[in-house]
Each structure stands twice: as structure tokens, then as C-alpha cells.
């Protein structure tokens, strides 16, 4: 940990200067602010677009040609000068021969099953943009604008489809809601009937009891009457008027008894009870069935509710992707995120340029200032090793630059549409690799040159050279083949492309063996240069 | 130092220079500008290597030499205390000793008042005292001063001269390079002069004449 005092000293020096802190934090903010303000409203106009549309499968005939027509209208409304062509080759040729900035291929695809829903989406198109990366100054703008039109059109169309779905389903759903109310009413009435039937059963039981009591009372009455008649008839010598009146009573009672027997048979209502029980059973069954129907209606209404709450986010956007018009190029990508602006496409290059420029210049100046400081003699003659000093200075430079990159990435969250935070790991990882490589190179420059002016000019020139070969300025396709192969494996190009893949396309691309070798070699060369020139300079000093 | 020769390009700065300093001695070192005094001092502190000859130091300490340079080898953007702490740490002085020694030197050189002030905001005299404090951080047996009185007012010059005398009396071997012959006359026990790459022992009274 011999580097620890050096690290502490460097940070103390920095924190003792308010200006350094201000530059450290507000420098990147200032740069981002200027860049954001300058580029956020960057609009390309009069983009020449050749459009070729076709069906991917013969099962899907040209019934949806209106989509292509409305898409072309949309393009025209957004400053595109549109030319429809008959083949993809003609379309690509237009780009290759500079007759068009972009060739747009529209392919109709089969319906797509919507995730998290029970529906499939009929309208499913894929839009592929072919661009010429040699026109690198505008190519990202063209891609951004084409993507913007495609996605806004996709949004409008898909939303229309959704509205139509909803409108078509509205009437039957209203009818169903009416049926639901009737069904509730029927269930209430069934409940009443069931309760009435229960009441009838209770009355029937009471009737049976009363009938039995009546029968007993009537039997007693009959017995008394018959005993009286029989007794009176056996008594001789009585006045005939008694016989007559008893016989009249007996006759009247016999008639009453006959009527009573009929009544008694009528009061025996076993059939009525069976009917009531039977009816109750049916009432219960109908109630059960109605409740099943009610559940089914509930299900239908729930599904409908799901449909009515669906929004654009639930629908599958019509996909947009782009690729180079030259077949040998490996530049291609898909964009399935919110519409990106020109600034989003430029951001990885800006970030890489910032890393190159600031790392190189800052490391060079810091190293030169350290080695030419008055305290250098004490450092050299102290018991701390040269490695510790170099490491301490490198770590200080790394932390300061990392802080600046963190500020830029933090601010970018507000400036960019691309979600930096969603894919922060590769962005941070490749930014840090860039800082390490270019800070080491800067430190080497700080030791190589004899004067501070020479060192600064060298670091600025080198960063400008790297800037010129960044793909955003000079597309590799435009360079002679051998040269472009070399440029493609230069660390700044590798890192810039990795940053682009991470920030725009959410791809964490691991370096290939060749790329890894290039990064490792750059690291080693810088370290060797640092130690070689450090000790060479010490030898010259002594 | 025995038979030390040092050249830069074709120009021979030191030619077979030999001398010795004993504990308790304060050796004055004079010579005209460009004579090679600073080169000799840088060879003594180990910054330059001699082309020939050697410097032999009889000491058990790992850091036997402390030095104060003409233009104060300090960080202007650090405070006095931060400078002293940093130079203690790169000399690998233990935390406890560092704390004691920094405190002692701050008090002894009357720096307490400014200890938390950035060096760039201090006067030349105060900076010189901080540089002297740095020279003594490792409690060295040999202390070398290169033009310590340059730019100091008479009061500060006297105070520093007294301090150097006290260092000598405490048993340290002190080597002082200066153009101020009257101060050297006051503080040194003997004087050597560098002329034409050779080192000569001279009488203190001869100092003005050799210029």
C-alpha cells in the first residue's frame, strides 16, 4: 500500500482547490448541457427514402395494403421524400448510388400473440431500414428519424385497432349487462318462491294436524250420537216425538258424517306435499343453473374489462431494425425501445471522445506537473518506490475521471431517451476500461516528453487523431480495406462500438479474442512505456 | 564523500571531490554561482549519482540525511500539516512517531499559527521553515541546507541561523551552502569552498576574498 500516501496527497491537493472541484463536477455538466442543448432538437429534413413493401407469406394477401399507404403518408408528413420501388435490390441500389438516404423495407408478418393477454394482434409489420454508414455524419439521424416515424405510425395503428375492438364489443357487452340485471331479478324471485313453498309446507302440516284432531273429535261425536240414538230406540214407552227428533238427529248426523268422510278424504293432501317438494327441488336446480350463468357472465365482463383497460404498452409494437446496405458490413441492430433521438445515437461517441480526450490530457498534465514539481526531489529520494508513486498517481487520475464519467452518466439519464440505467453495467465497465487505457497512455506521454507544452500538444494531437478515426466521424467502411481492419481493432473503436451496443441496443457484447488481445496489448504497451520512460528519465536526471 | 566526479555532457562539474563531516560539526559551503554546489548537494542526498567516487554515511538509520532545498521542495497546494504528514508517510515513518514529530517540529519552528494554511498563501520565510521541518522529519543524523537564508529578512535569518547552530550542538552533522558569508561565519565550525570542480578547505575569514 505504498501508493496510499500519494493517493491521499493528490486528493488533498484537489480538495484544497475549490476551482478543481468545480471543474471536476461542473465541467462534464457544462459539456453535457451544451451538447444536449445543441443536439436535442436536431432535425433532419428532406430525407430521401426508397420504400419496398411485401408480404412474408402468401397466406397474407394484400388486404392490409392500407397500412403501407398510411405509412408512406406518415413518412411524407415527416419530411421524407418517398419513392416506392418494386424490389429490395432496387431499394438498396438507391442508397448505394446516393439516390436515397435510406431504403425502408416493410414486411407483413403473421399475427402475433400478445404477451400477458388472451389476444393476438392482427397487424404485425416489420420495418427494416438499410443505410449507408459511410455517410456517418447523418446516418444515425436518418435511422433515428425513420425509427421515429415507424414507431409513431405503429402506435397510431395499433391504438386504432384497439379502439375498433372496443367499439365492436361495446353493444354486446351492454346487452350482457342488461341480462345480468334480469338474472339478478330472477334469482330474487326464485328465492321468494322457495320461501313461499316452505310456508305452504308448514301450513300443510298444520292442516294435517287439525284434520287428525277433527277426525278424533268427529269420531267421539259420532260415537256419542250413535250411543244416544241406540239408547233412545231401546227405551219403550217414550213419546214418539223423542224418537222422531232422535231419528231426525241421526239422519242429519248420517248426512253430516257422509259429508265429513268426503272432507276427511279431501284433507289427506299427500300429492300436494309431494308437488311442493318436487317444485322446491326444481327451484334449487334452476337457482344453481342461474348462478352458473351469472358466473359465466362475470367471466365475460371481466375479460371485457381487461380489454377496455388495455393500452398501447400491452400491444406488440411493430418492430424496427436497421442494417448497413453493404452486405459485408457487420453493423446492424434492432431498436425495440422508446423512440431515440439523434443525441442518443451520438452519446456513445461523445462518451468515448470525452474519455479519450480528458483521460489523455488530464493524465499527461498531471504526470508532467508531478514530475516537474518542486517536491519531486523529495519524492524520488524518499523510501517509497517508483511503482508506488506511479500507481498512486494512476489511481488518483482514475478516480477523478471515473467521477466525471459518473457525473456524465448521471446527467445523461435526464438528457437521453435511451435508458442508461437499464444497462449500466456494460456502460460503466467499458467506460472504466477506456479510462484505464487512455489514462495509462496519458501518463506515458507525461514521462516521454521533456516539456509540458510538448506533452500537452502530443496528448491533444493523439486524442484528435483517435477522434478522427472514431466511427462517428470516419466510418470504417470508407477506409481502405487493410486500414479499416486495423482501425476496427483499435481500442477506441472497440470501446466506442461496445458503448454503442450497450447504450442504444441494450447489448452487453463481450470482446472477441482479437479485441481482447488489442485491449490487453494497449494496456501492456502503455505500462511498458511508463516504466521505460520513468527510469530513462531518472537515468538522465542522475 | 571520496573522489566524487560528476560531469554533465563534456562539462566536468565536480572533479575528484573528497571531504567528510563529523557529528556536531556545522560545515559552511561556499562557491560562486554555477560552481556546482547544488550538484554536490544532490549527490549527497542521493538524487544524482556520481560518475566516479562514492558517498559513505556511517549510520544505523534508514533515512540518515535530511535536506532543505533552495526553492523549497514542497507542495504549494497543501497546508503545512498536510505537507509534513505526506513527507512523513512517504518516508514510512510510523503513525505514532509521525504524529509526535510533526507536532514537535510545528511548535519548534513556530508554525502552529499557520499549520492549516495552504503553502501558496504563506510568506517565503514561513515556507522555508516548513522546508526545514520537512528536512528534520526523519530525525536525520546529517542535515543539508541549500541556500537556507535566501530571501529571508534579517530577523528570520538570525532565527534560522540560531536553529542551525542548535542542530549542530545537538550532535547532528550539518552542511550549509550559502552565499551569505557573514551568516556562515557565525554558524559554521569550518568552511569548504567549491571552485573549478575542486573542493578546498578555507579559513572562515577568507570567505569574502575567495568570491
DSSP SS3 for B52: strand
Claim to verify: residue A88 and residue A210 sit in the same structural domain: no
Residue A329 located in a structural domain:
no
- Mean pLDDT for the stretch of residues A252-265: 85
Claim to verify: residue A59 and residue A112 sit in the same structural domain: yes
The Cα of B174 is separated from the nearest Cα of chain A by a number of Å equal to 18
Claim to verify: residue A152 and residue A283 sit in the same structural domain: no
Q: Is the pLDDT of residue A57 over 50?
A: no
The Cα of B77 is separated from the nearest Cα of chain A by a number of Å equal to 5
Residue predicted with more confidence, A193 or A150: A193
What value of ipTM does the predicted structure carry? 0.89
Q: Which of B63, B78, B91 is facing A16, going by the closest CB pair? A: B78
Contact A400, A442 (CB under 8 A): no
Claim to verify: residue A169 and residue A157 sit in the same structural domain: no
Residue predicted with more confidence, A235 or B71: B71
In chain A, the number of structural domains is 3
Contact list in A for residue B92 (CB cut-off 8 A) is 383-384
Contact list in A for residue B63 (CB cut-off 8 A) is 383
Residue A252 domain boundaries: 163-313
pLDDT at A532: 92
pLDDT at A329: 46
Residue A438 located in a structural domain:
yes
Q: Is the pLDDT of residue A311 over 70?
A: no
- d(CA A289, CA A277) in angstroms, rounded, equals 18
Claim to verify: residue A72 and residue A95 sit in the same structural domain: yes
Contact A233, A225 (CB under 8 A): no
Contact list in B for residue A17 (CB cut-off 8 A) is 77
Q: Which of A12, A16, A374 is facing B74, going by the closest CB pair? A: A374
Claim to verify: residue A291 and residue A360 sit in the same structural domain: no
Q: Which of A313, A348, A380 is the last residue of a domain?
A: A313
| Phi, psi (degrees; rounded to nearest 5) at B167 | -60, -45
pLDDT at A179: 84
Contact A381 B82 (CB under 8 A): no
Residue A146 located in a structural domain:
yes
Q: Which residue of A has its CA nearest to B78?
A: A13
Mutation site for A-interface testing, chosen from B55, B77, B79, B127 by largest number of A Cβ within 10 Å: B77
The Cα of B6 is separated from the nearest Cα of chain A by a number of Å equal to 10
DSSP SS3 for B104: helix
- d(CA B132, CA B68) in angstroms, rounded, equals 5
Residue A4 located in a structural domain:
no
- Mean pLDDT for the stretch of residues A490-504: 83
Q: Which of A255, A279, A313 is the last residue of a domain?
A: A313
Angle at B3 between CA A542 and CA B8, to 5 degrees: 35
pLDDT confidence band for B105 (50 / 70 / 90): very high
Q: Which residue of A has its CA nearest to B45?
A: A381
Lowest mean pLDDT across A3-7, A30-34, B93-97? A30-34
Which chain A residues touch B if contact means CB-CB below 8 Å? 4-6, 8-9, 12-13, 16-17, 373-384, 541-542
Which chain B residues touch A if contact means CB-CB below 8 Å? 42, 45-49, 62-63, 69, 71-79, 82, 86-87, 89-92, 118, 134
pLDDT at A192: 92
Q: Is the pLDDT of residue A337 over 50?
A: no
Residue A3 located in a structural domain:
no
Claim to verify: residue A468 and residue A378 sit in the same structural domain: yes
Report the first-to-last Cα separation within chain A, whole angstroms: 27
Residue predicted with more confidence, A198 or B151: A198
Claim to verify: residue A268 and residue A399 sit in the same structural domain: no
Q: What is the pTM of this model?
A: 0.63
**Nearest-CA neighbor of A48 among A87, A86, A73, A75?**
A75
Residue A330 located in a structural domain:
no
Q: Which of A313, A343, A376 is the last residue of a domain?
A: A313
Q: Which residue of A has its CA nearest to B39?
A: A542
Claim to verify: residue A109 and residue A186 sit in the same structural domain: no
Q: What is the CATH number of the domain that holds A257?
A: 1.20.120.230
Claim to verify: residue A130 and residue A274 sit in the same structural domain: no
Contact list in A for residue B69 (CB cut-off 8 A) is 374, 377
Claim to verify: residue A130 and residue A188 sit in the same structural domain: no
Claim to verify: residue A120 and residue A147 sit in the same structural domain: yes
Residue A340 located in a structural domain:
yes
pLDDT at A331: 53
Q: How far, CA to CA in Å, does A161 sit from each of A120, A124, A167, A171?
A: 11, 11, 10, 17
**Nearest-CA neighbor of A50 among A132, A105, A4?**
A105
- d(CA A416, CA A429) in angstroms, rounded, equals 19
Residue A523 located in a structural domain:
yes
Amino acid at each position: 500500500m505504498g501508493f496510499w500516501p500519494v493517493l491521499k496527497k493528490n486528493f488533498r491537493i484537489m480538495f484544497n482547490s475549490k476551482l478543481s472541484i468545480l471543474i471536476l463536477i461542473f465541467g462534464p455538466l457544462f459539456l453535457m448541457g451544451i451538447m444536449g442543448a445543441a443536439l436535442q432538437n436536431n432535425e433532419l429534413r428532406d430525407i430521401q427514402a426508397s420504400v419496398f413493401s411485401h408480404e412474408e407469406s402468401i397466406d397474407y394477401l394484400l388486404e392490409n395494403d392500407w397500412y403501407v399507404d398510411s405509412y408512406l403518408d406518415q413518412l411524407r408528413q415527416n419530411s421524407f421524400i418517398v419513392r416506392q420501388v418494386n424490389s429490395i435490390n432496387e431499394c438498396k441500389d438507391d442508397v448505394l448510388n446516393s439516390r436515397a438516404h435510406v431504403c425502408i423495407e416493410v414486411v407483413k408478418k403473421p399475427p402475433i400473440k400478445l404477451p400477458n393477454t388472451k389476444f393476438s394482434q392482427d397487424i404485425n409489420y416489420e420495418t427494416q431500414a438499410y443505410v449507408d454508414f459511410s455517410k456517418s455524419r447523418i446516418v444515425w439521424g436518418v435511422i433515428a428519424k425513420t425509427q421515429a416515424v415507424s414507431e409513431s405510425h405503429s402506435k397510431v395503428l395499433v391504438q386504432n385497432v384497439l379502439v375498433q375492438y372496443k367499439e365492436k364489443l361495446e353493444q354486446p357487452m351492454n346487452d350482457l349487462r342488461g341480462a345480468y340485471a334480469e338474472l339478478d331479478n330472477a334469482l330474487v324471485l326464485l328465492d321468494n318462491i322457495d320461501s313461499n313453498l316452505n310456508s305452504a309446507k308448514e301450513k300443510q302440516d298444520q292442516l294435517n294436524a287439525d284434520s287428525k284432531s277433527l277426525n278424533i273429535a268427529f269420531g267421539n261425536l259420532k260415537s256419542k250420537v250413535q250411543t244416544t240414538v241406540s239408547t233412545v230406540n231401546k227405551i219403550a214407552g217414550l213419546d214418539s216425538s223423542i224418537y222422531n227428533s232422535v231419528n231426525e238427529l241421526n239422519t242429519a248426523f248420517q248426512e253430516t258424517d257422509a259429508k265429513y268422510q268426503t272432507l276427511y278424504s279431501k284433507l289427506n293432501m299427500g300429492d300436494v306435499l309431494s308437488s311442493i317438494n318436487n317444485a322446491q327441488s326444481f327451484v334449487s336446480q334452476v337457482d344453481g343453473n342461474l348462478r352458473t350463468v351469472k358466473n359465466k357472465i362475470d367471466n365475460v365482463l371481466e375479460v371485457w374489462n381487461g380489454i377496455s383497460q388495455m393500452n398501447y404498452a400491452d400491444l406488440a409494437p411493430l418492430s424496427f431494425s436497421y442494417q448497413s446496405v453493404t452486405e459485408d458490413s457487420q453493423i446492424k441492430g434492432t431498436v425495440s425501445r422508446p423512440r431515440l433521438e439523434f443525441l442518443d445515437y451520438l452519446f456513445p461517441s461523445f462518451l468515448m471522445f470525452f474519455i479519450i480526450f480528458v483521460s489523455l490530457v488530464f493524465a499527461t498534465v498531471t504526470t508532467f506537473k508531478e514530475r516537474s514539481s518542486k517536491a519531486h526531489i523529495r519524492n524520488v529520494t524518499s523510501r517509497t518506490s517508483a511503482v508506488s508513486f506511479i500507481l498512486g498517481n494512476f489511481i488518483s487520475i482514475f478516480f477523478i475521471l471515473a467521477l466525471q464519467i459518473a457525473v456524465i452518466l448521471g446527467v445523461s439519464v435526464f438528457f437521453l431517451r435511451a435508458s442508461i440505467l437499464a444497462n449500466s453495467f456494460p456502460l460503466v465497465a467499458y467506460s472504466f476500461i477506456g479510462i484505464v487505457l487512455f489514462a495509462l497512455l496519458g501518463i506515458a506521454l507525461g514521462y516521454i516528453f521533456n516539456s509540458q507544452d510538448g506533452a500537452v500538444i502530443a496528448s491533444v494531437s493523439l486524442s484528435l487523431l483517435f477522434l478522427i478515426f472514431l466511427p462517428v466521424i470516419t466510418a470504417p467502411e470508407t477506409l481502405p480495406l487493410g486500414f479499416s481492419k486495423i482501425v476496427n481493432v483499435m481500442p477506441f473503436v472497440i470501446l466506442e462500438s461496445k458503448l454503442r451496443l450497450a447504450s442504444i441496443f441494450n447489448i452487453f457484447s463481450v470482446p472477441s479474442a482479437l479485441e481482447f488481445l488489442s485491449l490487453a496489448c494497449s494496456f501492456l504497451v502503455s505500462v511498458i512505456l511508463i516504466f521505460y520512460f520513468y527510469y530513462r528519465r531518472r537515468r538522465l536526471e542522475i | 564523500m571520496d573522489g566524487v566526479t560528476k560531469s554533465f555532457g563534456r562539462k566536468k562539474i565536480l572533479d575528484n571531490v573528497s571531504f567528510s563531516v563529523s557529528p556536531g560539526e556545522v560545515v559552511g559551503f561556499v562557491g560562486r554561482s554555477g560552481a556546482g554546489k547544488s550538484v554536490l548537494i544532490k549527490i549527497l542526498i542521493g538524487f544524482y549519482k556520481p560518475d566516479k567516487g562514492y558517498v559513505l554515511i556511517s549510520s544505523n538509520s534508514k533515512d540518515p540525511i535530511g535536506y532543505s532545498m533552495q526553492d523549497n521542495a514542497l507542495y504549494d497546494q497543501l497546508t503545512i500539516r498536510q505537507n509534513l504528514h505526506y513527507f512523513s508517510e512517504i518516508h514510512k515513518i510510523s503513525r505514532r512517531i509521525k504524529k509526535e514529530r510533526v507536532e514537535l517540529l510545528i511548535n519548534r519552528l513556530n508554525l502552529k499559527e499557520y499549520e492549516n494554511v495552504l503553502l501558496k498563501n504563506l510568506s517565503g520565510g514561513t515556507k522555508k521553515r516548513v522546508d526545514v521541518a520537512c528536512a528534520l522529519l526523519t530525525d536525520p543524523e546529517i542535515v543539508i541546507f541549500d541556500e537556507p537564508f535566501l530571501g529571508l529578512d534579517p530577523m528570520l535569518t538570525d532565527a534560522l541561523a540560531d536553529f542551525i547552530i542548535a542542530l549542530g550542538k545537538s550532535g547532528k552533522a550539518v552542511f550549509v551552502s550559502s552565499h551569505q558569508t557573514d551568516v556562515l561565519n557565525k554558524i559554521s565550525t569550518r568552511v569548504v569552498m567549491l571552485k573549478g570542480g575542486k573542493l578546498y578547505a578555507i579559513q572562515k575569514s577568507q570567505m569574502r576574498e575567495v568570491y
